[in-house]
């Protein structure tokens, strides 16, 4: 893990931001749904806006697309004010959650829609539409009516319809949420490959943290209208800034500890910590815990902390099992360990002290 700043709203490359969201605010019926959102997106970046339903992630996307008006702040794109441009003049295209395929037009005409609207030379249209449909593997459906397509196929048409316009930024509003699990995973891979191929900036909205981690260059975690943390997936997973981020992205154990003289203590568990004395909350990922009896997979260089607990529950999960460990005083710790076969009773566990990460527990 490098020592880069753990949470910053600037794109990692340091290149000039393509899209710059500055202190954006939005209200609905006097209720603040977005507040103080500042975020820079680099050209060619895959940025995911992650949040629970109601966190304002779709609203943020709609502000960028131009379907909603800002109540405060500014949005800039390539040095120009975007938020004062009407939606139909923005070089931004959207893939809608419900696809929004025009039902009265064929697949071909759906994809050609944007080109015709922008008065692209007539001779150029068939070539570009054909290319776009080939890109999403929908060439054979060009003349089909949208009503005859499955959800996944409509999804592809929606993607082609947006990409054919060569937008500077592509907005995707939970585009995979309506697909079943297998198709969803397949589309995730395709989407990522597609994004690399076309080199267009993707801003992807989802509530699915696994999806966010699998796809993104950076994740912007939104919580109740505010940015909780903006970082690369590994960074946000390994060093969540807050207890919320730690819990939302992946599973974790939150240890509410007392630090004194370089030792953190949470119930019966203690480990060395460099944090200043006082109360502190730590995040310890379940997979960072292992059975002391198991041979260490990698020789850990740091200090190892051990604790004992009674296994209350073991959930078989194929390669990895999930254990619920009672460490006394009904203090439950979850551990994800390579399937050891059935175990129970009291066991000794260990973790590297550096894996217990201090998080901000603002509530």
Partner 1 sequence: MYSRAYKTAVTIPPLVWVTVFLLIPYAILFCYSFWSVSSLQVIVHNWNLQNYAQLFRNPLYLTVLLRSIRIAGAVTLLALLLGYPLAYYLSFHAAKRKDLLYQLVIIPLWASYLVRGYAWKTILGSDGVLNGFLQYLHITHRPVEFFLYSPFAVILTLTHIYTPFTFLPIYASLEHVPRNLVEASHDLGASPFSTFVRVILPLSLPGILAGATFAFVLTLGDFLAPLLVGGPSGIMISNIVVSLFGAAYNWPLGAAISLCMLLLVVTLLFATERLEKRFTIS
Positions that interact with partner 1 (CB under 8 A): 65-67, 86-89, 92-94, 96, 98, 100, 102-104, 113-114, 117-118, 147, 161-162, 165
Distance separating alpha carbons of residues 72 and 170, to the nearest angstrom: 23
The secondary structure of residue 293, as a DSSP letter, is T
Helix, strand, or coil (residue 150): coil
Cβ proximity to partner 1, 96 vs 226, nearer residue: 96
Residue with tokens 């995979």: 176
The label of the residue with tokens 């002290």 reads 353
Q: Which is nearer to partner 1, 176 or 289 (CB)?
A: 176
Q: Residue 77 or residue 259: which is nearer to partner 1 going by CB?
A: 77
Closer to partner 1 by CB, 98 or 339: give it: 98
Q: How far is the CB of 2 from partner 1 (least distance, A)?
A: 38
Q: Look up residue 140 and give its DSSP letter.
A: G
Give CA torsion, residues 277, 240, 247, 215, to 10 deg: -170
Q: How far is CA 80 from CA 60, 76, 220, in A?
A: 18, 5, 23
CB of 157 to partner 1, least distance (A): 11
Q: What is the nearest approach in angstroms of partner 1 to the Cβ of residue 302? A: 51
User: How near is the Cβ of 279 to partner 1 at its closest, in Å?
Assistant: 48
- State the nearest-atom distance from the C-beta of 58 to partner 1, in Å: 12
Closest distance between partner 1 and the C-beta of residue 54, in Å?
19
Q: Which is nearer to partner 1, 103 or 342 (CB)?
A: 103
Angle ∠(322,323,329) on CA atoms, nearest 5: 145
With respect to partner 1, which residue has the nearer C-beta, 170 or 333?
A: 170
Residue 361 is encoded by which pair of tokens? 């527990």
Among residues 242, 200, 228, 195, the alpha carbon closest in space to that of 214 is found at 195
Closer of 92 and 221 to partner 1 (Cβ):
92
Closest Cα partner for 155 from 110, 90, 198, 99? 99
Strands 201-206 and 169-173: parallel
Report residue 72 CA to chain centroid gap: 25
CB of 171 to partner 1, least distance (A): 9
**Cβ neighbours, 10 Å, residue 319:** 7
């Amino acid at each position: 893990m490098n020592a880069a700043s753990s949470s910053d709203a600037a794109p990692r490359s340091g290149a000039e931001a393509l899209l710059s969201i500055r202190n954006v605010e939005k209200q609905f019926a006097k209720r603040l749904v977005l507040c103080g959102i500042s975020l820079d997106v680099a050209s060619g970046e895959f940025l995911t806006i992650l949040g629970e339903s109601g966190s304002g992630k779709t609203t943020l996307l709609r502000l960028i697309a131009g379907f909603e008006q800002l109540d405060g702040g500014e949005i800039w794109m390539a040095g120009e004010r975007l938020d004062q441009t009407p939606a139909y003049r923005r070089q931004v295209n959207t893939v809608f959650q419900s696809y929004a395929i025009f039902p009265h037009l064929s697949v071909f005409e759906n994809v050609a829609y944007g080109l015709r609207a922008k008065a692209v030379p007539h001779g150029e249209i068939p070539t570009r539409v054909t290319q776009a449909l080939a890109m999403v593997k929908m060439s054979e459906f060009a003349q089909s009516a949208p009503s005859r397509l499955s959800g996944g196929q409509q999804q592809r048409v929606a993607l082609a319809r947006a990409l054919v316009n060569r937008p500077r930024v592509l907005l995707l509003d939970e585009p995979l949420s309506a697909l079943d699990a297998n198709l969803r995973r397949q589309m995730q891979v395709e989407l990522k490959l597609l994004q690399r191929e076309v080199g267009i900036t993707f801003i992807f909205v989802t509530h699915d943290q696994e999806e966010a981690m699998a796809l993104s260059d950076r994740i912007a975690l939104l919580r109740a209208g505010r940015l909780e943390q903006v970082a690369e997936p590994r960074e946000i997973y390994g060093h969540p800034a807050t207890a919320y981020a730690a819990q939302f992205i992946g599973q974790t154990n939150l240890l509410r500890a007392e630090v004194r003289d370089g030792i953190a203590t949470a119930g019966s568990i203690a480990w060395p910590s460099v944090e200043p004395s006082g109360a502190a909350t730590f995040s310890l990922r379940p997979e960072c815990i292992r059975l002391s009896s198991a041979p260490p997979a990698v020789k850990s260089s740091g200090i190892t902390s051990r604790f004992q607990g009674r296994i209350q529950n073991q959930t078989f999960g194929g390669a990895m099992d999930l254990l619920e460990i009672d460490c006394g005083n009904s203090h439950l710790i979850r551990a994800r360990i390579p399937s050891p076969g059935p175990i129970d009773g009291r066991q000794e566990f260990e973790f590297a002290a550096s894996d217990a990460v201090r998080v901000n527990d603002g509530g």
